[in-house]
Amino acid sequence: MGLLDVVRALLGVSAYEAAPANIPSLGDRSVEEARKLVGGNLYPLPETRLTWYLADLETAQGAADWGDMKAAALLCAAFHGESIIAGTMATRTNGMVRLPKRFYGDPQMCADLEGRSGARSIFDEMHPPSELALLDRDGIELGVAVGERVPVKGRSHPVLVRLEPQHLYYNWTEGRWYYNSVVGRLPITPGDGRWVLHTPAGRVAPWRNSLWRALGQAWIDKSHARLHRSNWEAKLANPARVAKTAPGATQAQRQGFLEKLIAWGINTCFELPPGWDVSIVESNGRGYESFGETIDRSEREMIIAITGSTVLVDGGTGFANADVHKAIRADLIDGDAESLAYTLNTQSLPAWVVGEYGIDALERMPLVGWDTKPPKDLKADGEALKAFGEALAAANEALTAYGLRVDARELAAQQGYPLQKLDGTPLDQTGLPTLRAPQDTTEGTRASVLEMVRPIAKKLALYAQPYRRAA
């Protein structure tokens, strides 16, 4: 067994089975040679289907439960053309991946990731924000997303490329994902250095816990309502023109008058003999209103499904200056950031560490996380501090008659206000209550990942010894 095979197996075995040895996989020589013959693309030409019915949604659900993601992914591709879905989803995904990033772990490795090569950092070169946003979008809508770490000539680190999810297939009997590529069905081994599989909706049947069914139903209802309203407008929006002739009019007179009526255009004028008349008849039906109500309801369902709230529907206080934290429910942003960071920390960064620093460096590998906390409102903080001071002064004044005063140090510690002496030296914290430090979820994630990586690193070190002796 070669070193690369050991890395693939051990880094992927924590969550998924390794690919069977008798099936060609990504990175094998035969696969790479076949890709060169078709220009290097891994996936076939994407298919497009724009007309959908509710019966098709049921068919797509059944196919997904069998492991075939093609119909569900085609539906997602179709409703991406909907402006409401495209806009709100872009706010959620593009806004999240462009939040500030934080790196944890070995300082030198973190500095290398944050270091810049031209206009972008090394991390952004390996993980372009546009590709991460697409990966995040597929994970939100479909429940599963797939990408490839493509080698780049002239540099040691690859680039992550998101692949079309319509070619994904899950084999229930093997518990393994496959990708139907131009060179055949390839097994996906997450963390082997080439594949990245993002499953934020769960490892078991993630398509059942994602948004594509809710968004698909709302989009199908809206698209059909728009077609029916257009049909109504084409038939009934234009009023009918009616001509009344006198009882004694001849057939020739009626025919000539009808021709003038048909040619009725803008600013048309008629000179009518006595007993003749022209008028219009408009439809007094109000069936078109139901189409508008269906469209409004569908748009509201789309926005609520994506944002988790009705802020983008109803507005709200400060909505004119809304940002991603106000437009999207905070826990959804946190969940997107944590799941995407977990995928990169377990499937992409370990391979980069092994390639740049060697196997022994896995125990010190860095982790990435997005800072999803809303920016501080300095005005609100200032007003809160002012109110704290005024309340403290009023309380001390009221307690003077009883020979008491408020312990300002304890209150300041509870509110998170730093204190120091008048000469600028730090305040002695002896006697202050011990406060529970806020939990840093990213550090917790790092600890759990290191626990997973430590035994892997030890095994890899054993396998690496013969190669080092040979070198």
Name the average pLDDT for the chain: 78
- Looking at the domain assignment, is residue 318 inside a domain? no
Residue 238: its pLDDT value, please? 65
Q: Which residues constitute the domain of residue 262?
A: 240-281
Q: For the segment 352-367, what is each residue's pLDDT rounded down to a tens digit? A: 988 888 888 888 889 9
197 and 252, same domain (yes or no)? no
Q: For the segment 32-87, what is each residue's pLDDT rounded down to a tens digit? A: 888 777 777 787 888 889 899 999 999 999 999 999 999 999 999 999 989 899 98
Burial class (CB in 10 A: 0-12, 13-18, 19+), 61: middle
46 and 157, same domain (yes or no)? yes
- Looking at the domain assignment, is residue 454 inside a domain? no
pLDDT: is 27 or 193 the higher one?
193
- Mean pLDDT for 281-291 is 66
Residue 284: its pLDDT value, please? 61
Residue 359: its pLDDT value, please? 84
254 and 361, same domain (yes or no)? no
Task: Specify the number of domains making up the chain.
Answer: 3
Dihedral, CA of residue 217, residue 218, residue 222 and residue 228, to nearest 10: 40
- Looking at the domain assignment, is residue 466 inside a domain? no
11 and 104, same domain (yes or no)? yes
The bridge status of strand 240-244 relative to strand 277-281 is antiparallel
358 and 398, same domain (yes or no)? no
Q: For the segment 109-165, what is each residue's pLDDT rounded down to a tens digit? A: 998 888 765 667 889 999 999 999 999 999 999 999 999 999 888 888 899 999 999
138 and 170, same domain (yes or no)? yes
Q: Can you tell me the distance from the alpha carbon of 291 to that of 152, in angstroms, rounded to the nearest whole number?
A: 52
251 and 114, same domain (yes or no)? no
Q: Can you tell me the distance from the alpha carbon of 162 to that of 134, in angstroms, rounded to the nearest whole number?
A: 7
159 and 277, same domain (yes or no)? no
Among 281, 297, 314, residue at a domain's last position = 281
430-446 b/e with 16+ CB inside 10 Å = b?
eeeeeeeeeeeebeebb
Phi first, then psi, for residue 136 (nearest 5°) are -65, -40
pLDDT-based confidence at residue 432 (cuts at 50, 70, 90): very low
pLDDT at 471 over 50: no
Report DSSP letters for 329-355, one per residue: -HHHHHHHHHHHHHHHHHHTHHHHHHH
pLDDT at 233 over 60: yes
Residue 464: its pLDDT value, please? 43
CA 142 vs CA 189, 305, 334: distances in Å: 19, 13, 19
Q: Which segments of 45-168 does DSSP mark as H helices, in order?
A: 54-65, 70-79, 83-97, 107-114, 122-126, 129-142
126 and 197, same domain (yes or no)? yes
